[in-house]
């Protein structure tokens, strides 16, 4: 093995360990009995595994409800983000118009604006509009966060479907909308699904807006954050580890399933 | 089936003029080839007929119906695209009946017409496959079947053979000719390949710079090109051009090239007499030149530049004075570079052109 390859591989191992090690610790702890978590010195590899820890977490106050809240917010976010992004992405992919590049840049440039600065004005505005502490309000913010990415991804997906196919459909008797519905959308479906799942994860993991804009109607990450930093020293260790594990797993599983799509979405050639 | 009339079409993209001013009539059942180099506007004309391009000006009628403002789907056209544009997510059968479904043709008629079209294209065994499981030639057949199953008034084809390999292209060319003969549908076929144009077209419209420069039968386009560009574009090797001075005396015409005289048909005498001072181009097809190793009366002196064997024949490049001449010669012909030869031009087959404008002289 050459020195160069040694360097590449050892760097890869370090980076992987940096990501994998915490995940591993959380996963182990999530299946460790409560007493063992509080024992000192604590063994990294628990003496026995249990599902009790996770069970306790799921039975804690509001966990199930906030999971449903998270799913509802994610669902609304996907719907809204696609409603806004898909037509815009179609226009960006199919038409050459003045200011096209500017639109693409500006949409992404909104990501450069720190969300923390928006927090207080946003909370005030939401209170005025009656959106404060509602799931719709959270979904709106998540949509705003997701639209730049979804638009960029979906533009790429539409570009990958040859325009000649739509034209062919039009010469065969459909109008443009029909051609999009019958040809472009079915062909783009796998990519669109991947983009949808990506949006789901964005919303599922988002904690900042969710915890600022809600009090009673918490999403799962907001609930866990609140419990962890809450008064009286916060939640017990078993709650923390089980909650962390519960948050990570969907994202991890989904990322694994759609990684091929994500790589192509971001413009990495994979063949 | 219908006559197609294009009247004063014009299309610009910003400052670029794709179609300058094109008027053309394609007769009912005719196979018309739009021929020209890339960027000449031929594909834009075809797409305008299909309704895929909006025109700046001009009108299109198909079978007497003004279709200028109609969307593609209501023009009763069908189009075969260069990339075939076969729908990858649909099986071959669903591809073929796509247009029939859009037109709400009853199911049993869909099946019958699809079977007929598949039979004509010999793809009956492929109906259950997806396009990804087909070769390029098979996809091409699906695209043609999908078009003809519509029984269009006009069939439009945009370089349909250019993505096939050479052997398959030859085969499909014959197939397309057969299909046109069996269906008799008015066809507009775009290509940059002059061989395709000559072999398929009943008439050819040659385009340059957004205009039609010649619209005629293949033999006329080949033998009597409207200008120097057309002559140079048609034929392989292309037409030769020798520049000389006209000489018309006593009702006989000749062209003086490098001090030697090339006899021309008498019908040219009157025009040449009237334009005696003008430089004239003689357009000469390579097959209308005979080469001799001995000097003979009525020949032009030349020097061999190269002899390239091409299999069935050889290509001789000779220099007449400063001017190069390409001649098709027998493979038995042997000559060394630098060797003097004498070329005899068949004066009756020469196409005379104005050397300054490049336009053919009307004689």
Question: Quick one: which of B263, B324, B260, B327 has its CA closest to B292?
Answer: B327
Query: Two tokens at B161?
Result: 């053979």
B60-87 in b/e burial notation, b at 16+ Cβ within 10 A? bbbeeeebbeeebbebbbbbbbbbbbbb
Query: Two tokens at B9?
Result: 């079409």
Residue B113, chain A, CB below 8 Å: the answer is: no
**DSSP secondary structure letter of residue B277:** T
Query: What is the model's pTM?
Result: 0.83
**pLDDT, position A233:** 62
Contact state of A174 with B150 under an 8 Å Cβ cutoff: no
**Secondary structure of B7-21 in the HEC alphabet?**
EEEEEEECCEEEEEE
**pLDDT, position A259:** 75
Cis peptide before A35 (omega within 30 of 0): no
Residue of chain B minimizing CA distance to A178 = B102
**pLDDT, position A270:** 39
Residue B54, chain A, CB below 8 Å: the answer is: no
Helices assigned H by DSSP within chain B: 42-50, 92-96, 98-102, 107-121, 136-148, 166-183, 194-200, 218-223, 228-233, 269-274
- Spell out which residues of chain A touch residue B154, defining contact as CB-CB under 8 Å: none
Question: Quick one: which of B348, B91, B360 has its CA closest to B206?
Answer: B360
pLDDT, tens digit, for every residue of B58-104?
Answer: 999 999 999 999 999 999 999 999 999 999 999 999 999 999 999 99
Give the 3-state secondary structure of residue A41: coil
Provide the sign of the torsion angle of the four alpha carbons B259, B263, B268, B274, taken in this order. Answer: positive
- H-helix or E-strand containing A144? helix A135-159
Residue of chain A minimizing CA distance to B88 = A187
The arithmetic mean of pLDDT across residues A139-168, rounded, is 91
Residue B67, chain A, CB below 8 Å: the answer is: no
In this predicted model, which residue has the larger pLDDT, A13 or A42?
A13
Contact status, residue B118 vs residue B127, Cβ threshold 8 Å: yes
- Among the partner-chain residues A168, A175, A186, the one whose CB lies closest to the CB of B71 is A175
Residue B318, chain A, CB below 8 Å: the answer is: no
CA distance B119 to A259: 44
Assign B317 a pLDDT band (cuts: 50, 70, 90).
very high
The arithmetic mean of pLDDT across residues B282-290, rounded, is 92
Q: Which range has the top average pLDDT, A27-31, B7-11, B232-236, B271-275?
A: B7-11
* Percent of all residues in chain B with a pLDDT value above 90, rounded to a whole number: 74
**pLDDT, position A214:** 86
Query: Two tokens at A234?
Result: 């916060």
pLDDT at A40 over 90: no
Contact status, residue B22 vs residue B210, Cβ threshold 8 Å: yes
pLDDT at B130 over 70: yes
Among A34-43, A219-228, B63-72, B328-337, the range scoring the smallest mean pLDDT is: A34-43
Interface residue of B83, B85, B104 to substitute, partner A, most A CBs within 10 Å:
B85
- Spell out which residues of chain B touch residue A183, defining contact as CB-CB under 8 Å: 87, 89
- Spell out which residues of chain A touch residue B102, defining contact as CB-CB under 8 Å: 172-174, 178
Cis peptide before A163 (omega within 30 of 0): no
Contact state of B89 with A187 under an 8 Å Cβ cutoff: yes
Average pLDDT in chain B: 92
> What stretches of chain A adopt beta strand conformation (E)?
none
Residue B52, chain A, CB below 8 Å: the answer is: yes
Interface residue of B67, B102, B139, B160 to substitute, partner A, most A CBs within 10 Å:
B102
Residue B85, chain A, CB below 8 Å: the answer is: yes
- Spell out which residues of chain A touch residue B79, defining contact as CB-CB under 8 Å: 167-168, 171
CA distance A92 to A103: 9
**Up-side HSE of residue B206: CA atoms within 13 Å toward CB?**
25
- Spell out which residues of chain B touch residue A175, defining contact as CB-CB under 8 Å: 71, 73
Q: Give the CA radius of gyration of chain A.
A: 23
The arithmetic mean of pLDDT across residues A263-271, rounded, is 49
Residue B72, chain A, CB below 8 Å: the answer is: yes
pLDDT at B306 over 70: yes
B16-30 in b/e burial notation, b at 16+ Cβ within 10 A? ebbbbebebebeeeb
- Spell out which residues of chain A touch residue B146, defining contact as CB-CB under 8 Å: 172
**DSSP secondary structure letter of residue B159:** S
Interface residue of B51, B71, B89 to substitute, partner A, most A CBs within 10 Å:
B89
pLDDT at A53 over 50: yes
pLDDT at A269 over 50: no
CA distance B84 to B251: 57
The arithmetic mean of pLDDT across residues B273-299, rounded, is 87
**pLDDT, position A264:** 60
Q: Give the closest-approach CA distance of A256 to chain B in angstroms.
A: 25
- Spell out which residues of chain B touch residue A181, defining contact as CB-CB under 8 Å: none
- Among the partner-chain residues B52, B88, B99, the one whose CB lies closest to the CB of A172 is B99
Assign B226 a pLDDT band (cuts: 50, 70, 90).
very high
Contact status, residue A178 vs residue A169, Cβ threshold 8 Å: yes
**pLDDT, position A271:** 35
Among A239-248, B187-196, B207-216, the range scoring the smallest mean pLDDT is: A239-248
- Count chain A–chain B contacts defined by CB atoms under 8 A: 55
Query: Two tokens at B105?
Result: 């043709």
- The CA-atom distances, in angstroms, between B347 and each of A23, A69, B272, B352 are 90, 92, 14, 10
Q: Which range has the top average pLDDT, A69-78, A115-124, A215-224?
A: A69-78
Q: Give the closest-approach CA distance of B131 to chain A in angstroms.
A: 13
Question: Quick one: which of B267, B282, B279, B272 has its CA closest to B247?
Answer: B272
**DSSP secondary structure letter of residue B75:** T
Interface residue of A165, A173, A190 to substitute, partner B, most B CBs within 10 Å:
A173
Among A218-227, B60-69, B73-82, B269-278, the range scoring the smallest mean pLDDT is: B269-278
Give the 3-state secondary structure of residue B150: coil
Residue of chain B minimizing CA distance to A185 = B89
């Amino acid at each position: 093995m050459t020195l160069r390859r040694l360097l590449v591989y050892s760097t890869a191992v370090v980076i992987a360990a940096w990501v994998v090690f915490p995940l591993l610790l959380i996963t182990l702890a999530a299946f460790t009995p409560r007493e063992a978590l509080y024992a000192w010195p604590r063994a990294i590899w628990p003496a026995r595994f249990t599902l009790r820890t996770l069970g306790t977490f799921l039975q804690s106050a509001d966990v199930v409800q906030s999971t449903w809240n998270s799913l509802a917010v994610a669902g609304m976010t996907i719907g809204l983000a696609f409603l806004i992004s898909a037509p815009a992405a179609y226009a960006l992919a199919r038409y050459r118009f003045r200011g096209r590049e500017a639109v693409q840049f500006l949409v992404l440039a909104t990501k450069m604006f720190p969300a923390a600065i928006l927090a207080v004005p946003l909370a005030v505005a939401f209170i005025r509009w009656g959106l404060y502490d509602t799931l719709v309000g959270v979904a709106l913010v998540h949509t705003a966060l997701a639209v730049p990415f979804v638009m960029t991804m979906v533009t790429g997906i539409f570009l990958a479907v040859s325009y000649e196919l739509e034209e062919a459909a039009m010469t065969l008797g459909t109008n443009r909308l029909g051609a999009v519905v019958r040809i472009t959308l079915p062909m783009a479906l796998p990519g669109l699904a991947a983009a949808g799942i990506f949006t789901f994860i964005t919303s599922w993991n988002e904690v900042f807006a969710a915890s600022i804009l809600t009090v009673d109607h918490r999403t799962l990450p907001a609930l866990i954050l609140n419990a962890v930093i809450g008064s009286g020293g916060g939640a017990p260790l078993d709650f923390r580890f089980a909650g962390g594990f519960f948050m990570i797993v969907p994202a991890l599983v989904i990322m694994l399933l759609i990684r091929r799509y994500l790589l192509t979405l971001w413009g990495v050639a994979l063949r | 089936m219908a006559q197609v009339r294009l009247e004063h079409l014009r299309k610009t993209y910003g400052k670029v003029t794709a179609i300058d001013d094109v008027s053309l009539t394609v007769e009912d059942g005719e196979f018309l080839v739009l021929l020209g180099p890339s960027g000449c506007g031929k594909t834009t004309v075809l797409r305008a007929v299909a309704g895929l391009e909006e025109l700046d000006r001009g009108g299109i009628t198909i079978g007497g119906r003004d279709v200028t403002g109609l969307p593609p789907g209501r023009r009763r056209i069908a189009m075969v695209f260069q990339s075939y544009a076969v729908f990858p997510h649909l099986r071959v059968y669903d591809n073929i009946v796509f247009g029939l479904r859009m037109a709400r043709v009853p199911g049993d008629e869909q099946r019958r017409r699809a079977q007929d079209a598949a039979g004509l294209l010999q793809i009956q065994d492929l109906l259950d496959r997806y396009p990804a499981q087909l070769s390029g030639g098979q996809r091409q057949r699906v695209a043609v079947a999908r078009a003809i199953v519509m029984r269009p008034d006009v069939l439009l084809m945009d370089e349909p053979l250019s993505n096939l390999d050479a052997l398959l292209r030859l085969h499909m060319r014959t197939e397309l000719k057969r299909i046109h003969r069996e269906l008799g549908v008015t066809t507009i076929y775009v290509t940059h390949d002059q061989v395709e144009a000559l072999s398929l077209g009943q008439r050819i419209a040659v385009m340059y710079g957004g205009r039609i420069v010649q619209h005629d039968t293949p033999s006329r386009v080949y033998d009597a090109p409207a200008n120097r560009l057309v002559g140079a574009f048609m034929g392989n090797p292309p037409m030769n051009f020798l520049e000389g001075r006209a000489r018309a005396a006593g009702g006989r015409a000749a062209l003086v090239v490098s001090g030697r005289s090339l006899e021309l048909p008498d019908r040219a005498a009157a025009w040449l007499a009237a334009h005696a001072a003008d430089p004239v181009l003689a357009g000469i097809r390579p097959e209308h030149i005979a080469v001799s190793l001995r000097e003979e009366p009525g020949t032009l002196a030349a020097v061999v530049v190269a002899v390239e064997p091409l299999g069935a024949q050889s290509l001789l490049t000779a220099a007449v004075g400063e001017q190069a001449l390409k001649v098709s010669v027998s493979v038995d012909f042997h000559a060394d570079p630098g060797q003097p030869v004498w070329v005899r031009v068949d004066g009756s087959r020469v196409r005379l052109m104005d050397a300054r404008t490049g336009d053919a002289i009307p004689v």
